[in-house]
Amino acid sequence: MEEKKVLLDVKNLRTSFFTDAGEVKSVNDVSFHVNEREVVAVVGESGSGKSVTQLSVLQLIQSPPGKIIGGEVWFEGNNLLTYSKKQMCSIRGNGISMIFQEPMTSLNPVYTVGNQLTEVLRAHNKNMSKQEAWKRGVEALAAVGIPDPEERMKNYPFEMSGGMRQRAMIAISVACNSKLIVADEPTTALDVTTQAQVMELLISLVEKKGTSIIVVTHNLGLVTRYADRIYVMYAGRIVESGTTEMLLTNPRHPYTLGLLASVPRLDDNKNEKLVPIEGTPPNLANIPVYCSFYPRCPYACEKCKNEAAPELRPVGETGHFMACHLDVRGGNASA
Ligand code: SF4
């Protein structure tokens, strides 16, 4: 089997926010990687640290109060955490680009989409003429399925639908030939039909352009159909990771089981009742030394409260990891 080449390798990343309430450990010793031409999903509830992890990769954390306090972010052989602001500017767009839930927060409302596309292209390629950038912009809009791209270049963002704006954001990544696109809740603000179209468009870039994609989402159901591998995050840590098939057919962490039971899945035909995860995530300014899922975990036992938080460990097939003192298989827990 052909060995996959690692594109992004994040090691022991730690990011905190220093607030009046204390140190909020949003990203707590997180390691993950993305291979070339791979779709990776990072899944967790709001406040699990999944978005802060990606913002840290791109050094987009607002400082203060935020600070990356440890770790390494290797991209194409370089540790991005040693990069200056100027060096990071050259990585953003050409190397890694990020698209957000609401493109209106990224697109400037007072410039046309064409203006913004050509500006980004010329910022990354100083020798490119305005005409060439315009042509490349039109091609990029066409590539993401925007009809009548010449005319659409002249539109302001408010003249486009939400789905169209998200396509325009993806077009910027396409125009820049980004090797990695980080899509943070890319479809949450869209209706269900448009959600599927935007996801299909993102995934098509893997095949057509060799792009790798990280999809950050609270909706495990959304990504089961598209992701090659999944990282599940809880309270600033990764609690389970593996191929999508491993996590769907043999989930081992109680939180992953809870997520699977609580969301409808596109690949699930059964009319199974959805069961929400009771309780709320812990305060990240006051994370317990024991397992942070303890107060919500249906499998919790004395050991979980008396011992330090479990580390990620291999389980089952190669490439499957989880952080739990027990081993929950098919709903049955064993030590
Ligand atoms: Fe639940 Fe205990 Fe596992 Fe934590 S360590 S997830 S409390 S069973």
Domains parsed from the chain with CATH numbers: 6-95+178-267+275-334 (3.40.50.300)
pLDDT at residue 269 in the model: 56
Pairing label, strands 237-243, 313-314: unpaired
Distance of CA 237 from the midpoint of ligand 1 (Å): 14
Which residue of 278, 322, 326 sits with most ligand 1 atoms within 8 Å of its CB, as the best mutation to test the pocket?
Answer: 326
pTM comes to 0.91
Q: Which of 56-65, 98-107, 200-209 has the lowest mean pLDDT?
A: 98-107
Q: Which residues line ligand 1 (CB under 6 A)?
A: 254, 291, 293-294, 297, 299-300, 304, 310, 324-326
Nearest CA to 282 out of 268, 292, 291, 269 is that of: 292
First vs last Cα of the chain: how many Å apart?
34
pLDDT in tens, 9-36: 999 999 999 999 899 999 999 999 999 9
User: Could you tell me the pLDDT band of residue 331, with boundaries at 50, 70 and 90?
Assistant: low
User: Cis peptide leading into 147, omega within 30 of 0?
Assistant: no
Going across the sheet that includes 78-79, the strands are: 22-35, 6-19, 66-75, 78-79
The number of CA neighbours under 13 Å toward the Cβ of 48 is 22
C-alpha count within 13 angstroms, C-beta hemisphere, residue 69: 16
Per-residue pLDDT tens for 146-177?
Answer: 999 999 999 999 999 888 898 898 888 888 88
Quick check: 9 and 74 in contact, CB under 8 A?
yes
Task: Identify each DSSP E strand in 167-211 by its residue range.
Answer: 180-184
Q: Tell me 228's DSSP state.
A: S
CA dist 12 and 27 (Å) reads 9
Residues 6+ positions from 104 with CB-CB distance below 8 Å:
157, 158, 165
Give the nearest ligand 1 atom to 309 CA. Answer: 5
Q: SS3 for 317?
A: coil
Arithmetic mean of pLDDT over the chain: 90
Q: Report d(CA 91, CA 332) in Å as an integer.
A: 46
pLDDT at 217: 93
Mutate to test the pocket of ligand 1, among 259, 292, 293, 312 (most ligand atoms within 8 A of CB): 293
Answer yes or no: is pLDDT of 330 > 80. Answer: no
Token pair 């491993």 in the structure block, residue: 246
| Single-letter code of the amino acid located at 118 | T
